[in-house]
Chains A and B, each alone.
Chain A
Amino acid sequence: MKRRWIMLLALVLVFTMVFAACGPKQEAPTEDKKTEETEKPAEDAKKEEPKEDEKKEDEKEPAEEPKKDGDYWTKATQPDLNPQLATGRGKETLVVGSAQFNGVFNPFFRDTSYDQNIIDQIFDTTLKNDPEGNIIDNVCKLDIVSATEYKLTILHDVKFSDGKPVTGDDIKFAYLLAGHPDFDGIANFDDAKIVGYAAYQKGEAEDIEGIVVSEDKKEVTITLEEGNVLFKFDTSVPIYPSHYYAPDGKIDIAYIRSLNEAPMGSGPYKFVSYTAGQEVVLEANEDYWQGKPQIPNIIFKIISSSAELSSVLTGDVDIMEINATTDNRMEAEKAGFLDLCVYPTNGYGYVGMNQKANPILADKTVRQAIAHSINRKGVTEAVYGEFGNEINIVQSRVSPYFTDEGVNKYEFDLAKATELFKEAGWEKNANGILEKDGQPLKINFLGMEDNPVQQILVPEMIKDFKEVGIDFSVEYVDWATLSNRVTEQEAEMWFMAWGLSINPDNANIYGTDRDQNRLAYSNPALDALYKEAYKETDEAKEKSIWGEIYRTINEDAPAIPIYQRSDMIAANTRVQNLVASPYYRVYWDLWKATIE
Chain B
Amino acid sequence: MLQYIGRRLIQTIPMLIGISLILFIVFSLMPSDFIDLQYANVKISAERLAEIKEKHGLNDPTHIRYFRWVSNMLKGDFGESSQFKKPVTTVIGDYIWNSFLLAVVAQILAILIAVPIGIYSAVKQYSIFDMLFTVFALIGISIPAFFFGLVLQKIFAVDLGLLPLIGMRTAGSKLTGFADALDVMRHMVLPVVVLTLISVGGLMRYTRTAMLEVIRQDYIRTARAKGLSENVVIYKHAFRNAMIPLITLLGFMLPGLFAGAILTESIFGWPGIGRVALQSINQRDYFFLMAFNVLMSVLTLAGNLLADLLYAAADPRIRLQ
Interface residues of A (CB under 8 A from B): 4-5, 8-9, 11-13, 15-17, 19-20, 22-24, 26-28, 30-35, 37-40, 51, 83, 85, 93, 95, 100, 102-104, 109, 111, 184, 186, 188, 190-191, 257, 260, 275-279, 281, 297, 299, 301-307, 310-311, 313-314, 316-317, 477-481, 483-485, 487, 499, 508, 515-516
Shortest Cβ gap from A452 to chain B (Å): 17
- Judging by beta carbons under 8 Å apart, are A277 and B95 in contact? yes
Query: Known: A306-B150, A307-B165, A480-B31. Contact between A487 and B272, CB under 8 A?
Result: no
CA distance A22 to B84 in the complex (A): 21
- Judging by beta carbons under 8 Å apart, are B40 and A487 in contact? yes
- 13 A-B pairs (CB sep. < 8 Å): A8-B15, A27-B282, A28-B40, A34-B43, A103-B86, A104-B84, A275-B271, A276-B271, A277-B94, A307-B153, A310-B165, A484-B32, A485-B31
Q: Is B45 an interface position by the 8 A CB rule?
A: yes
Shortest Cβ gap from B76 to chain A (Å): 18
Q: Which residues of B contact A111 (CB under 8 A)?
A: 38, 83
Query: Known: A39-B40, A302-B271. Contact between A12 and B19, CB under 8 A?
Result: yes
Q: Is B48 an interface position by the 8 A CB rule?
A: yes
CA distance A310 to B160 in the complex (A): 13
Q: Is B161 an interface position by the 8 A CB rule?
A: yes
Query: Known: A111-B38, A302-B269, A306-B266. Contact between A480 and B150, CB under 8 A?
Result: no
Q: Add 12 more A-B contacts to A23-B281, A186-B39, A515-B45 (CB < 8 A).
A: A9-B15, A9-B18, A20-B27, A28-B37, A30-B40, A31-B41, A32-B42, A190-B48, A276-B95, A310-B166, A481-B30, A499-B41
CA distance A34 to B48 in the complex (A): 16
In the complex, the 4 A-B pairs of residues with the closest C-beta atoms, listed nearest first:
A277-B271, A484-B32, A276-B94, A30-B41
Interface residues of B (CB under 8 A from A): 11, 15, 18-19, 22-23, 26-27, 30-32, 36-46, 48, 52, 55, 83-86, 91, 94-95, 98, 146, 150, 153-154, 157-158, 161, 164-169, 171-172, 266-272, 275-279, 281-284, 293, 296-297, 300-301, 304
CA distance A479 to B48 in the complex (A): 23
- Judging by beta carbons under 8 Å apart, are A260 and B85 in contact? yes
Shortest Cβ gap from B33 to chain A (Å): 8
Residue of B nearest to A93 (CB): B172
Contact of B41 among A37, A109, A314, A481 (CB under 8 A): A37
- Judging by beta carbons under 8 Å apart, are A303 and B41 in contact? no
Residue of A nearest to B301 (CB): A8
Contact of B282 among A4, A188, A302, A478 (CB under 8 A): A478
- Judging by beta carbons under 8 Å apart, are A19 and B293 in contact? yes
The residue among B27, B31, B91, B272 with the most chain A CB atoms within 10 A of its own CB is B31
Q: Which residues of A contact B165 (CB under 8 A)?
A: 307, 310-311, 314, 316
- Judging by beta carbons under 8 Å apart, are A33 and B166 in contact? no
Q: Which residues of A contact B95 (CB under 8 A)?
A: 276-277
Query: Known: A19-B293, A279-B172, A314-B157. Contact between A188 and B42, CB under 8 A?
Result: yes
Contact of A33 among B23, B31, B42, B91 (CB under 8 A): B42
Query: Known: A278-B271, A304-B267, A306-B267. Contact between A480 and B282, CB under 8 A?
Result: yes
Q: Which residues of A contact B38 (CB under 8 A)?
A: 111, 186
Q: Which residues of A contact B279 (CB under 8 A)?
A: 24, 27, 100
Residue of A nearest to B297 (CB): A12
Shortest Cβ gap from A591 to chain B (Å): 17
- Judging by beta carbons under 8 Å apart, are B267 and A85 in contact? no
- Judging by beta carbons under 8 Å apart, are B269 and A483 in contact? no
- Judging by beta carbons under 8 Å apart, are A483 and B83 in contact? no
Query: Known: A95-B172, A186-B39, A483-B36. Contact between A316 and B15, CB under 8 A?
Result: no
- Judging by beta carbons under 8 Å apart, are A306 and B43 in contact? no
Q: Which residues of B contact A27 (CB under 8 A)?
A: 279, 282
Residue of B nearest to A189 (CB): B43
- Judging by beta carbons under 8 Å apart, are A303 and B269 in contact? yes
Q: Which residues of B contact A24 (CB under 8 A)?
A: 278-279, 281-282
Query: Known: A102-B85, A485-B31. Contact between A278 and B168, CB under 8 A?
Result: yes
Shortest Cβ gap from B43 to chain A (Å): 4
Shortest Cβ gap from B279 to chain A (Å): 7
Residue of A nearest to B276 (CB): A277
- Judging by beta carbons under 8 Å apart, are B300 and A12 in contact? yes
Contact of A32 among B41, B91, B172, B275 (CB under 8 A): B41
- Judging by beta carbons under 8 Å apart, are A307 and B267 in contact? yes
Shortest Cβ gap from A150 to chain B (Å): 19
